[in-house]
Amino acid sequence: MQKNPLPLIILTGKGAEELAVEALKAGVDDYMIKDPGQHYLTLLPEVVMGVLGKHADRQARKQAEEALQKADDELERRVEERTASLAMATEQLKKELSERMRTEAALRLSEERFRSVAQTAGDAIITVNSWGEIVFWNQAAEKIFGHSAKEAVGLGLTAMMPDRFIQAHKEGLRRVVSSDDFRILGKTIEMVGLRKDKTEFPVELSLAKWVTREGVFVTGIVRDITDRKQAEQEIRHLSRQLIRVSEEEKKRLARDLHDEFGQALTALHFGMEAMAKSLPDQLQGHKRKCDELMQLVQTLGDNIRRVATELRPDMLDDLGLVSTMKWYIDDFGKRIGDVRLDFEATGIKKRPGPEIEIVIYRVLQETLNNIAKHARASRVNIVLAYSHPKLILTIKDNGIGFGPKGATRPMQGNKGIGLLGIRERVESVGGHCEIRSNKGKGTMIRVELPLNLEPQ
């Protein structure tokens, strides 16, 4: 007999105890035998209610068992999923941990190599954090600055520079750390360092910026250029002496040309003129020949005076720089004819020293010659200005210009001192020369010279 989802009571007029047991085993909820006295009717409601109660309990228990089984199955599923997820996470963690260990090992090796290279480098290698505190200081830094690594680490980098540069350094570090200010990163600049004994010395500095989880760091490579500066100073001194000797020789040669050759040509001209006048009218051919020779002597005299002036104009010593520049610019304009030359002198109330005057004159002379030969310019602006404590000459043209290498290339045909020679001449007296040019956009030469003024 199949189990019935509804409660079942067997009510029969005949029966036996064995039959009742079998019926109960088969799933019957209760079993009643009709008695002849009709007493079963009295008990029937109570039996029905009991059967219904048991059925309700059984159903509730069944539902609870089913819910429990379902919850157990769900829990087991979730446990399995979580176990699988944890297994995957554990495997991923193992991989990440292994990778991190390899990375840390590589980083340690890299740091060891860096320290090995940094400690054996001939230049000082210094690293500072975003607050300007020194966090790395190699052996070369100890040698150059005089501070041991123990003394230097933790100090501000400002301890390694003169007081007059500290504020500029702080502002520069702030810009580099807080923004992408790459104006000085990767470039080499010259500064002044301060040793432990408070002596100052020239240094060459290049910077690099790097960012980590610990913050922003800036590493500088510092080179002591004291020896190089001394050598440069000696070269400038030698160059200055050579230029001075050269100018004195040009001055002597110009004077000799003017005095000896000029006088001789003048005497020759007068002699030929007198000889021509003494010839009789019948010798007209000879007179014409004398006239031709006198014209040739005149031309030769003009050329000698021009060469003497190119070598060293007398008016530079007699009238000064500004007047000589005006004369030379006017004369140059007449000779080339198709270039407009504008000259302006401002703020010059006293006369520069003779050495400065000749440098300015030679720069003007060489630049204008260069423009005439190569620039194909139609206009040149020349400005001579005094801006304390410097005398500044600026020459701009609207010619064809040249590329970056042109500023260091000698003049074609090796004539003149060239742009490189201009720079060397200017630097020999402690000046600065800036040459800017782009193809098709002309050229600008700016010369700044320190002034040693003499009364006019």
208-231 pLDDT, tens digit per residue, is: 887 888 888 888 889 999 999 898
| Residue 384 burial by Cβ neighbours in a 10 Å radius (0-12, 13-18, 19+) | buried
* Banded pLDDT at 181 (limits 50, 70, 90): low
414: left (phi over 0), alpha (psi -120 to 50) or beta: left
Between 180 and 355, the higher pLDDT residue:
355
Residue 90 C-beta-side C-alpha neighbours within 13 Å: 6
Burial tier of 455 (Cβ tally within 10 Å: 0-12, 13-18, 19+): exposed
Q: Which of 18-32, 117-131, 329-343, 430-444 is the least confident region?
A: 18-32
Q: Would you say 124 and 145 are in contact if contact means Cβ atoms under 8 Å apart?
A: yes
Beta carbons within 8 Å of 8's beta carbon, 6+ residues apart: 27, 28, 29
Separation of alpha carbons 345 and 236, rounded Å? 28
Per-residue exposure over 421-446, b if at least 16 CB sit within 10 Å of its own CB, e if not: bbbbbbbbbebebebebeeeebbbbe
50-58 long-range contacts (CB < 8 A, ≥24 apart) are 51/7, 51/9, 52/7, 54/7, 54/29, 55/6, 55/7, 55/29
**Residue 192 · residue 201 · CB < 8 Å:** yes
In the numeric block, the tokens 């004077």 are attached to 255
* Predicted confidence (pLDDT) per residue in 233-279, tens digit: 888 788 878 878 887 888 788 777 766 777 787 788 778 778 777 88
* Beta-carbon count within 10 A of 209 CB: 16
% of the chain with per-residue pLDDT over 90:
23
Residue 261: count other Cβ atoms within 10 Å of its Cβ. Answer: 16
pLDDT over 50 at 411, yes or no = no
Is the four-CA dihedral 328, 334, 337, 342 of positive or negative sign?
Answer: positive
DSSP 130-167: TTSBEEEE-HHHHHHH---HHHHTTSBGGGGS-GGGHH
| Global model pTM greater than 0.75 | no
pLDDT tens digits, 391-408? 999 999 999 988 665 554
Confidence of residue 364 (pLDDT cuts 50, 70, 90): very high
Q: For residues 398 and 444, give the distance between their C-alpha atoms in angstroms, rounded to a whole number.
A: 9
Q: Taking every pair of C-alpha atoms in the chain, what is the biggest distance, in angstroms?
A: 201
- Give the pLDDT mean for 25-29: 73
> Other C-beta atoms within 10 Å of 75: how many?
10
Q: What three-state secondary structure class fits 409?
A: coil
Instruction: Write down the mean pLDDT value for the chain.
Output: 82
> Sorting pLDDT into bands at 50, 70 and 90, what band is 67?
confident
The winner for highest mean pLDDT among 147-156, 169-178, 214-223 is 147-156
Residue 47: Cβ within 10 Å count: 16
Phi, psi of 452 (to 5 degrees): -115, 90
